[in-house]
A = this chain, B = another copy of it.
Amino acid sequence: MLRTHTCGELTLKNAGNSVVLCGWLQRSRDLGGMTFIDLRDRYGITQLVFNMETNASLCEAARKMGREFVIRVHGRVTERSNKNLKMPTGEIEISVDSFEILNEAKTPPFTIEENTDGGEDLRMKYRYLDIRRSPVKEALLLRARVAAETRNYLNKVDFIEVETPVLIKSTPEGARDFVVPSRMNPGEFYALPQSPQTFKQLLMVAGMDKYYQIVKCFRDEDLRADRQPEFTQIDCEMSFVEQEDILNTFEGLVRHLFDAVKNCNIGELPRMTYAEAMQNYGNDKPDIRFEMKLIDFSTLSKGKNFKVFDEAGVVLAICAKGCSEYTRKQLDELTDWVKRPQIGATGLVYARYNTDGSIKSSVDKFYSPEDLKLWMEKCNAAPGDLVLILAGEEHKTRKAMSELRLEMGSRLGLRDKDNYRALWVLDFPLLEWSEETQRWHAMHHPFTSPKPEDVGLLTSDPGKVRANAYDMVINGVEVGGGSIRIFNKELQQKMFGILGFSPEDAQAQFGFLMNAFEFGAPPHGGIAFGFDRLCSLFGGADSIRDYIAFPKNNAGRDVMIDSPAKISAEQLKELQISIHKP
């Protein structure tokens, strides 16, 4: 090695040692007689000292180096007079005897420090410089740690990591596939997997019993702010299990991760049905770091001649603790907030429970003080609280109220990033009706099994059928989801029929799986975790981007390597495809 130590390991114990360090020049301070340089590598920062009095030419040479120069220094570890106890190497410095410049550096386009002046675009273009910054570097180290601990846990409980293929077949169900033209089979295409779903089920048919993989998946979707065309899943499947076994095994995984990576005990995960989650939180991924449940005011508020409420499908309230002093301006601003198209409410009704015990509402003229008192009782409000009410079509109003609840939670500081609250949401509906396509869609995916007691409803009332499906939710984020699968050919065929597949289409697309079910398929089920999201959650970040070494932007471009790009005419010819003229 070109070095004897890294920049993160020397302490007072090494005082007097001769050492060789390599790294990047983070910062240089010229104090007249002395020059101090912070030398940085992945492991930390070590201070170098050059002395004008003892070696003027060396000190002068050192002063000529710019930020991000790569250097190699020989020197002695000495105790600092001015100690910095905040950093592991802060009690020592290196009295440099000699150094060599391994590589020079142009001035970086943004400062490579904890907080940078670089905008998102610039940082992405020079991602290799951005990664030198401590927050991004730490994010990638954290990701590696979460992956390693995931493997440790799963290996220990007999899961086998199996790689499934990346070049597979396009299927119409689900999101849009990326496809890969096959040169050897002209006119035909591979597809990149949106998940290894069918392969992991085949591995269960194959008797692998417990499978996992930390695996890249692909979706050609119009990207929202925090989606990537390629993303990573922790993908798992088990045989001879019931839902309870999956919940226990993967609650164990997540508990282990929090323990090993965050040194934090998240306790047992509470469980909530989909129906309860929708009722109490208006959301199938409730943030349970705070209460503020949705209260149904429908019965209480109707029949008092307030047309908005009388005609509403539902009237919902939340109680914001300690907010009775909200000013008119604040309430107007909140009203504007709920009326934004993303939220979609038509207006906001409030009722303040003043600290003097009086109640003041924006709809006083329809409701007597006694009526309002009942409202307060219904939502367990106390003097000093503020009740916020939305009304309208049920689904839309629940959704809007869920957003308002989260917003109020944020405003009240109830959503601390370091407070982790995980839960299971269970008993999802198997199917949801799409007005757009006028057919049933699988809420999870077409391989999810209905609850045995609901199978009869498949024909009579498909929307009522509950699935053996479960999501793990942490702090309002769905980090994982899965189901017990169908493992019987007839039921799988029936499911494809309900989803609008002709028997021929079902056979053409998924025949390999249904045929496999005829050769002794075991009962099985599994789960997949969004690994990028899980890592960002562990890191306390909102965006997944810094947890991906080389992410793409919202147009699906890698601006660093400038991809996608044109390919040569010869490549197109070999693939026997043409590009449409614009």
Contact = CB atoms under 8 A, between A and B. Distances in A.
Interface of A: 1-3, 6, 22, 24, 40-43, 68-70, 72, 102-106, 108, 126-132, 137, 140-141, 143-144, 147-148, 151, 155, 160-170, 172, 176-192, 198-199, 202-203, 205-210, 216, 218, 220, 222-223, 229-230, 232, 239-242, 245, 487-488, 512, 516-523, 548-550, 552, 555-558, 560-568, 571, 574-580, 582
A148 B335 CA distance: 55
Given A579-B577, A582-B186, A216 B166 contact: yes
A131 B1 contact: no
A550 to B, nearest CB: 5
A345 to B, nearest CB: 33
Contacts of A548: 163
A143 B206 CA distance: 16
B165 A550 contact: yes
Nearest to A159: B144
A565 B188 contact: yes
A203 B137 CA distance: 10
A420 B208 CA distance: 29
Contact of A230 (B147, B167, B580): B167
10 contacts: A24-B207, A40-B207, A103-B522, A144-B162, A167-B229, A169-B564, A186-B579, A189-B564, A512-B561, A577-B577
A523 B101 CA distance: 11
Contact of A42 (B105, B161, B172, B207): B207
Contacts of A578: 577-578, 580
A178 B180 contact: yes
Majority secondary structure, A binding face: loop
B216 A163 contact: yes
Nearest to A162: B549
A206 B131 CA distance: 5
Given A186-B579, A186-B580, A579-B577, A168 B561 contact: yes
A105 B520 contact: yes
Given A187-B566, A555-B185, A42 B162 contact: no
Residue in A102, A163, A168 whose Cβ sees the most chain B Cβ within 10 Å: A163
B148 A206 contact: no
A179 B550 contact: no
A519 B68 contact: yes
Q: How many copies does the complex hold?
A: 2
A549 B40 contact: no
Contact of A22 (B148, B182, B245, B522): B522
Given A41-B209, A577-B578, A184 B222 contact: yes
A331 to B, nearest CB: 42
A206 B129 CA distance: 6
Q: Give the residue among A42, A220, A229, A550 with the most B Cβ atoms within 10 A.
A: A550
Given A24-B207, A520-B69, A580-B577, A220 B183 contact: yes
B488 A232 contact: no
Contacts of A232: 163
A155 B164 contact: no
A46 to B, nearest CB: 14
A131 B151 CA distance: 23
Contact of A151 (B151, B192, B203, B519): B151
Contacts of A205: 128
Contact of A241 (B2, B220, B512): B2
A164 B550 contact: yes
B521 A70 contact: yes
Contacts of A1: 240-242, 245
Given A207-B131, A209-B42, A521-B70, A168 B108 contact: no
Nearest to A223: B184
A353 to B, nearest CB: 51
A192 B170 contact: no
Contacts of A72: 240
- The residue in A103, A203, A523, A577 that gathers the most chain B C-beta atoms within 10 A of its C-beta is A103
A222 B563 CA distance: 26
B151 A556 contact: no
Contacts of A566: 187-189
Contact of A552 (B68, B167, B181): B167
Name the 8 nearest CB pairs between A and B, nearest first.
A105-B520, A131-B206, A169-B563, A188-B564, A182-B564, A68-B520, A42-B209, A128-B206
Contacts of A40: 207
A41 B518 CA distance: 18
Nearest to A190: B564
Nearest to A20: B240
A246 B1 CA distance: 9
A240 B131 contact: no
Contacts of A137: 206-208
A399 B490 CA distance: 59
